[in-house]
Amino acid sequence: MARHVLVVNGPNLGRLGVRQPDVYGHQDLETLRKDCTQWGHELGLDVEVRQTDDEAEMIHWMHEAADGAIPVVMNPAAFTHYSYGLADAAHMVGDAGVPLMEVHISNPAARDEFRKRSVISPVATGTITGMGFFGYRLALEAVAHIIGQEA
C-alpha cells in the first residue's frame, strides 16, 4: 500500500497564480495539487496536499503527522521566518522518525533580508529552494528515497 505523505502549504499559497507571478509563477494551488498527486503515484506515495493561512491549523497538522508517523513536505511560507510554534511542531515530526522536507518555490536567500532566516530549516530533514513547483517533486523524491532506505 502506498505510504501517506502530507504536503502542507502555509499562508498566501492559496493565492498562487495571482500572487506575484513573477516570483511564484502563473500556476495555481489546484495545479500544484494535481502535480504532487501525480508525482506521488509515480513514486508510490499517497500524497495529500493541504493549504492554510492559519498557524494553529498548520501546527495541528504537524501533531497529526507526528502521531501517525506521516512524512511531510512543507512550504511554511511566511511562517518560515518567525514561527517557533511551527518549528517546535515540525521537530516532533522528526522525533517520530519520519522525514520533513522544507520547500520554497522561490529562493528566499536571494530576496528580502527577513526571508534569509528560516526557523524551520534547523529541524527539517532537508530544504529545497528556488526550483518552482519542481521543488515539491524533488522533495517527494527525497521522502521516497528516505523511507525506501528504511523499508
Return the closest-CA partner of residue 136 out of 69, 48, 56.
Answer: 48
Task: Choose, by CB under 6 A, the member of 16, 36, 74, 105 that binds ligand DQA.
Answer: 105
What is the C-alpha to C-alpha distance for residues 3 and 14, in angstroms, rounded to an integer? 25
Binding mask 60-89 for ligand DQA (x = CB under 6 A): ---------------x-xx-x---------
Helix %, strand %, coil % of the chain (to 5): 55, 20, 30
Contact status: 115 vs ligand DQA (CB under 6 A): yes
Beta strands in the chain (DSSP E): 3-9, 45-51, 72-75, 100-104, 126-129
Binding mask 6-45 for ligand DQA (x = CB under 6 A): ------x---------------------------------
Rounded to a whole number of angstroms, the minimum distance from the CB of residue 146 to ligand DQA is 22
Q: Hey, what amino acid is at 118?
A: S
Binding site members: 75, 81, 88, 105-106, 115
